[in-house]
Structure 1
Amino acid sequence: MTTAEPEAVAEEAPGRYLPVIDGMITQPFPAADFDDATGYGGPACRVRVLRASRDFWDDEYHRALHQADAEMSAVLGALAAALTVRWGDPLTVGLWSHPEAGFDGQRAPELIERLSQSACSMQVWPVPDSGRWIGLTVGQHDTELPLELMAVVGRTPLPAPGAAGGG
């Protein structure tokens, strides 16, 4: 990822990532779980990394992490604004509770549990007339690893909204 100004990066985000999101919405779900260079998923959910920062192994004072976080937040905001224009305000889903509570009192799908290990919350929009929802989140698997902006598409029903813990 470059060290461009967050606002400049955000301006290009909808044109760059909305076609990817649109493709995810229309793409059939695979019959079996997968994990490859495009992301991971299975019969009910697909996760794709839209943007990843560099890693932070040598970022002693966290300057690069703060810059990357500002860029990811700006891109997430720009994409969320574009999806809100399309489909209205998103639900905020707290992912941190899904490994224990799951959806509707049942254990969460394994892929959502995996997502919850790197992200605390996700903004989710139902996609009209598709039987699907789309979510956006930023996550990080560990403090030295890259930040990742992820798009998630799943089958309805929507994940249950929860108290989102930051981001």
Structure 2
Amino acid sequence: MTLARHLATIDLLRARPFPAEPGRSDVGPSGPGFHMAELSTSEDFWEDGSRWELVEEQYEAEREALALLLSERWGEAQVFSLASVFARSFDGGEEIPEPWGTLSNSVPDVHLWRVDGRWVLLGLSQWDTELPFQLLAVVTETDPP
């Protein structure tokens, strides 16, 4: 029941108040205006790079299945590219508010919903080709940049 566990984690994040200072909760980083959950994390690929595409497909399928369940609750998700956010930060030196700054470093796009005055996001992160994939959920009150 992985998807049920993911939904429960997202519901937990939606119910929590945001902390005054950045830190780490039981499921991932949190800070003023956001909570992030590392829903699942693959193995890294230092030893077996041949599995990379298979694991990527598996994590994309998991994200899509979870997005479908959330869309049944809140309507169709918007898919929001973070490429321009990353470029504004990296090339232009613009300071991007959290959690968007961190997400744009490793997540190419997110599925997002606006629910009860907060944004709920799903993204698939990978910092580098040898490093693990992570399925991330984020709840934030900060609008997309």
Question: Which aligned runs of 4 or more in structure 1 are off by greater than 6 angstroms?
Answer: none
Is 2:134 aligned against 1:144? no
Q: Indicate conservation of the 8 Å contact 2:80/2:110, yes or no.
A: yes
Q: Indicate conservation of the 8 Å contact 1:134/1:153, yes or no.
A: yes
With normalisation by structure 1, the TM-score equals: 0.76
With normalisation by structure 2, the TM-score equals: 0.87
**How large is the RMSD of aligned CA atoms in angstroms?**
1.9
- Show the 5 A alignment for 1:33-52: 33-35=22-24, 38-52=27-41
Partner in structure 2 of residue 63 of structure 1 = 50
Q: Match of 2:96, SS? A: coil
Q: Say how many residue pairs are matched.
A: 140
Query: 1:120 and 1:93 mapped to 2: Cα distance?
Result: 9
Q: Indicate conservation of the 8 Å contact 2:22/2:31, yes or no.
A: yes
Q: Which structure 1 segments of 5+ residues have no match?
A: 1-11, 161-167
Q: Indicate conservation of the 8 Å contact 2:9/2:37, yes or no.
A: no
Identity of aligned residues (%): 36
Partner in structure 2 of residue 155 of structure 1 = 141
Q: Which structure 2 segments of 5+ residues have no match?
A: none
In the TM superposition, what is the alpha-carbon distance from 1:107 to its structure 2 partner?
4.3
CA separation of 1:122/1:49 partners in 2, compared to 1, >3 Å: closer, same or farther? Answer: same
CA separation of 1:27/1:36 partners in 2, compared to 1, >3 Å: closer, same or farther? Answer: closer
Of the structure 1 ranges 146-155 and 37-46, higher mean CA displacement relative to structure 2 is found in: 37-46
Q: Indicate conservation of the 8 Å contact 2:34/2:98, yes or no.
A: no
Q: Indicate conservation of the 8 Å contact 1:119/1:139, yes or no.
A: yes
Query: 2:50 and 2:100 mapped to 1: Cα distance?
Result: 30
- Show the 5 A alignment for 1:14-25: 14-25=3-14
In the TM superposition, what is the alpha-carbon distance from 1:35 to its structure 2 partner?
3.8
CA separation of 1:64/1:37 partners in 2, compared to 1, >3 Å: closer, same or farther? Answer: farther
